[in-house]
Structure 1
Amino acid sequence: MSKSNNRKADAGKAHSKAKDAKSKDAKGKASKKHATGDAPRMTLGPVSSDAYPYDERLKRKVYEAEKRALQIELLKVQHWLRDSGGRLAIVFEGRDAAGKGGTIKRFMEYLNPRFARIVALDKPNETEKGQWYFQRYVSRFPTSGEIVLFDRSWYNRAGVEAVMGFATQEEVERFLVQVPQQERLWVEDGLHLVKLYFSVSREEQSIRFAKRATDPLTHWKLSPMDAVAQKKWDEYTDAAEAMFARTHSDHAPWTLIRSDDKRRARIGALRHVLSQLDYPGKDKKMIGTPDPLIVVDADRLILPDD
């Protein structure tokens, strides 16, 4: 059997498993007060996990089956980019401990690392501080046939730098004016750009910080920024709302991923990215429509200018 047929067979098996698992996940459905088919407007980052639309976490069996099927589709995307010379950049932004890293890990899990990489930059060095702000990010953009996943990105300026005072108000304002123009140029040049923002409730964020502090395997994830994330919750909310209002555009839209349930967030992110790309052999039926209670287009957010 050819490699192509093998991939199709694997995709079919994964799709079948996903469907079977879904049918047994009655307890994981949205609570009665939420309608899964609705696409309501909502505020950015509810303070309490009580506002999360699901009463239970996604069952592991359902999660694993759906994840496998979607990862097979992601491999199709990688083959398409290699054949066509396309370039894909995915931005992972969001609150601290919102599950960005875990989602990136699932994106990368089966991709060929020769043609896919993660960019997670530390604070700029002295040379980078003197450069054009976008320079160190643009220099790490994907080349022909490549996927790059940005674990935080140029949007640091509108987030942590703005909140923590690492950038002046003038620098932040200049960034918010310039970034839609820059992104338009990148997209017009052929870059496939997907921007994801991971939102987590204040309550869930606190729980995750506590787990990091006591687990020697994840303690390294704690940073000085985490120590003040809860205290500056409102400031981060205001900064994110300003960022959405100023940088959400038709050519480079923002999508919010509600991530109190990490499994649903990962599935939602995978499904959304795949739904944005038109590649050979795409299984539209299997990909389906991203859950509107988890995957939220920025147009549905209630922002200051509304």
Structure 2
Amino acid sequence: MTWKIVADSGCDLVSVADLAPDTTYERVPLTLQIGNQVFIDDDGLAIDEMMPRLYETKAAAHSSCPSPDAYLSAYQGADYLFVVTITGALSGSHNSARLAVEQYLEEHPNVKVHLIDSLSAGGEMDLLVLELNRLIASGLSFEEIVEKITAYQKRTKLLFILARVDNLVKNGRLSKLAGTVAGLLNIRLVGEASSEGKLDLLQKVRGQKKAVQTGFEEMLKAGYQGGRVLIAHCHNEKICEQLGKLIREKFEQAQVDVIKTSGLCSFYAEEGGILLGYEI
């Protein structure tokens, strides 16, 4: 029997290390349009070239979800399939994946598929993909994995800290005045993914040091007790070091991993931002 994990590029993992036996992983890219230039969020995307373009362009930039056909292509070649998408509350990617699942099952009625709306993005999506791989490697049945990943998702959360909000202003999601004030006053936005899959602002704080402390306090408030942490960052290794140190000072056993944000997550977290997934 063969297994496959499919995720869209709201997940930062271009590949998964130590894939379970008889398992493949494929990421379905979203597209990012900045001015008249289109960037495909696959493993060939040069994020270091994309981000300056984002700030040079005055016009609003936007992302586009994968088509059902793109998902159909990714589904091929496995007996058991798990699909993880960015939150359906903020993207059409989940709906495209769902339509593709319906069509795929009509054509392959013997394949078993489990579709997961992560209700999140970035680090929390990454944790779900890694946990799926671990569960497959453990030798559980498809049904047992569905049960366990459903329970696991209830124990994961997303914390975000944003240092820049230029793109949010250009897209009309934040006022120009608020964006200017945030830039001038060195304001950081600290928030989380809600249970409905929306991104909720928790606090506005001044400076990175305060943002790190506030972010950790919000994790503790949410029930963090030393579980795994995955920090996806956009050109800000310093904040990852600071958060990792703070976490390990209180929870010595905590596993804290750091990766770079995908093109999509870089597009929305912006320079200096993080999307941190953690277990509670």
Query: Could you tell me the TM-score, scaled by structure 1's length?
Result: 0.29
Q: Which protein has the bigger helix share?
A: 1
Which structure has the bigger radius of gyration? Answer: 1
Q: Which protein has the bigger strand share?
A: 2
Query: Could you tell me the TM-score, scaled by structure 2's length?
Result: 0.31
